[in-house]
Homo-oligomer: A and B are copies of this chain.
Amino acid sequence: MKVLWLFAHPEHRSLNGALRDVGLRSLKAHGHQYRESDLYAMGWNPVVTGADFGHDGVDRLRVAAASKGAYLDQTLSDEVLVEQEKLAWADTVVLQFPLWWYGMPAILKGWFDRVFVKGFGYGVIDRRTGRTLRYGEGKLAGRRAMIIVTAGAPEATIGPRGVNGDIDQLLFPLTHGTLWYSGITVLPPLVVSGADRLPDLEFTRVSQELERRLLSVPTAEPVPFRYQNCGDYDEDLVLRPDVARCETGLAAHIAGN
């Protein structure tokens, strides 16, 4: 594997830091290559501004149009180009972060906001058919991603009927709306719950699980999100009536539901 490891925790002397060390050590021991984007260590700026697009303001241009222009003209800021290059190199993306307010820390959200510009992460058109390539297709297709997320919440509370909502659905804007949208195949996340009071014994178990999950990335069964262009959606991109008939929630976008 060629792994891009995105790490978004402020403190290396943390559970997240320890798990990252386990993961990277394991990749190395098994002959895999990796590159890291340790966002806090890099001082990553997560705020989209016109400076990314070669001018001072976003101007009257919309952000999307401005970002596509800069992408095509190759005038995106260097910081963004470096991250795009890492992603182009990788066949695997690991995203590791603590769950803050049921989502990514801002520093990671802003990695996507800045790096996944129009023409790269979205707004990719198939020249032959004129179709927009998204949800399973796009420039980033062929890659696999796995999320490693720590949550203070106990396991039951982020389960299917837990008070916080099901973790798979809480992560949907990232797994489906960002990764799968841009063509990346998504594996089930590794969720470490009760993370702010994890006993030592549990750390050993989690480390082993992490290693197992990491090394099986190339062959593991992905989340079977539906493809946009394989007949499940009608011309308005709405699920056809006979698809996932009894499901109105986000799970309807997973094949088999």
Closest Cβ–Cβ distance, residue A17 to chain B (whole Å) = 10
Give every chain B residue within 8 A of A196 (Cβ-Cβ).
62, 64
Q: How far is the CA of A196 from the CA of B154 in the complex (A)?
A: 41
If the complex has contacts A57-B11, A196-B64, are A253 and B152 also in contact, measured as CB distance less than 8 A? Answer: no
Closest to A249 in B: B249
Give every chain B residue within 8 A of A161 (Cβ-Cβ).
238-239, 244, 248, 252
Q: Are A157 and B238 within 8 A (Cβ)? A: yes
Q: Which one of A80-88, A107-115, A185-193 contacts B?
A: A107-115
Q: Does A70 contact B (CB under 8 A)?
A: no
Q: How far is the CA of A152 from the CA of B62 in the complex (A)?
A: 11
If the complex has contacts A106-B110, A170-B172, are A237 and B101 also in contact, measured as CB distance less than 8 A? Answer: no
Q: Does A50 contact B (CB under 8 A)?
A: yes
Q: Does A255 contact B (CB under 8 A)?
A: no
If the complex has contacts A100-B113, A101-B113, are A106 and B166 also in contact, measured as CB distance less than 8 A? Answer: no
Q: How far is the CA of A103 from the CA of B152 in the complex (A)?
A: 21
Q: Does A96 contact B (CB under 8 A)?
A: no
Closest Cβ–Cβ distance, residue A131 to chain B (whole Å) = 13
Q: Does A228 contact B (CB under 8 A)?
A: yes
Give every chain B residue within 8 A of A11 (Cβ-Cβ).
50, 57-60, 63
Q: How far is the CA of A141 from the CA of B161 in the complex (A)?
A: 24
For this complex, 5 residue pairs linking A to B, each with C-beta atoms less than 8 Å apart, are A162-B237, A165-B253, A166-B248, A170-B177, A249-B251
Given contacts A10-B57, A248-B251, 13 further A-B contacts (CB under 8 A): A10-B58, A13-B60, A14-B62, A46-B110, A47-B107, A101-B178, A154-B236, A154-B237, A162-B236, A163-B228, A163-B238, A165-B173, A169-B172
Interface residue ranges, A against B (CB under 8 Å): 10-11, 13-14, 40, 46-50, 57-60, 62-64, 98, 100-107, 109-110, 112-113, 116, 135, 152, 154, 156-157, 159-166, 169-170, 172-174, 176-178, 181, 196, 228, 233, 236-239, 244, 247-253
